[in-house]
Structures are given as structure tokens and as C-alpha cells.
Amino acid sequence: MKMANPLRGEVLTLYKNLLYFGREYPKGADYFKRRLKAAFLKNKDVKDPEKIRQLIARGEFVIKELEALYFLRKYRAMKQRYHLEDDKTK
């Protein structure tokens, strides 16, 4: 990652985006940050652009998963709090 690899920018953007998503993580932002950093450091010596692209794609997949997780959590909480009658009438 220290080389002037053209994908460096993409990797950094991915890291920043993931970090932003981690703020709302149910197990805590610190837990998320530690795991995120460890995951990125584990792959810091990967040089092959194809492999880097695959890892970036995996990171973007994680972002999609987090979006879905956050939405479902919120939806379920709101439904539980505001739509109790659903269980009775529907």
C-alpha cells in the first residue's frame, strides 16, 4: 500500500467509508475500528492489482451488508415500538 499504486486512493476511500459506517455498529465503534484496521493491515502487502480489486469489492460488499443491517435494525425497532396492533389485527 505504500507504493504509488493507482489503487491506493480507492483503498483509502474504502477504508474511510467503512470507518464512517462503523460508527453505528451495534457492538461499538471501537470494536469495529479495531477489526477494520486489523483486516486492512493483514492485506497490506498485497501487490497484485487484480487481488486488490477483489479485496476492494469484498469491502464494498461489507458496506452493503452494513447498510442492510442498520436498516433492518431500525425498521424492526420502529415496528416493534409503533405497530403493536399488527400482531393482533393482521
Partner 1 sequence: MAELRALVGVKRVIDYAVKIRVKPDKTGVVTDGVKHSMNPFCEIAVEEAVRLKEKKLVKEVIAVSCGPKQCQETLRTALAMGADRGIHVEVPESEAERLGPLQVSRVLTALAQKEKAGLVLLGKQAIDDDCNQTGQMTAAMLDWPQGTFASKLTLEGDKVTVEREIDGGLETIRLKLPAVVTADLRLNEPRYATLPNIMRRTTRQPGRWEATNPSLHRPPSVVLQPLPVQVYHCTYS
Select the span of 4-12, 31-39, 46-54, 81-89 touching partner 1 (CB under 8 A): 81-89
Altogether, the residues listed in the chain come to a count of 90
Cell digits for 48? 497484485
Give the 3-state secondary structure percentages of the chain, helix then strand then coil, rounded to 5.
75, 0, 25
Which of 35, 37, 58, 74 is in the footprint of partner 1 by CB under 8 A?
A: 74
Report if residue 27 touches partner 1, rule: CB under 8 A. no
From 2-10, 11-19, 38-46, 54-62, span contacting partner 1 (CB under 8 A): 11-19
How far is residue 23 from each of residues 29, 59, 64, 78, 87, measured CA to CA in Å?
5, 16, 15, 20, 33
Rounded Cα distance between 45 and 40, Å, is 10
Task: Give the shortest CB-3-to-partner 1 separation in angstroms.
Answer: 25
Residues near partner 1 (CB under 8 A) are: 13, 16-17, 20-21, 24, 26, 63, 67, 70-71, 73-75, 77-79, 81-83, 85, 89
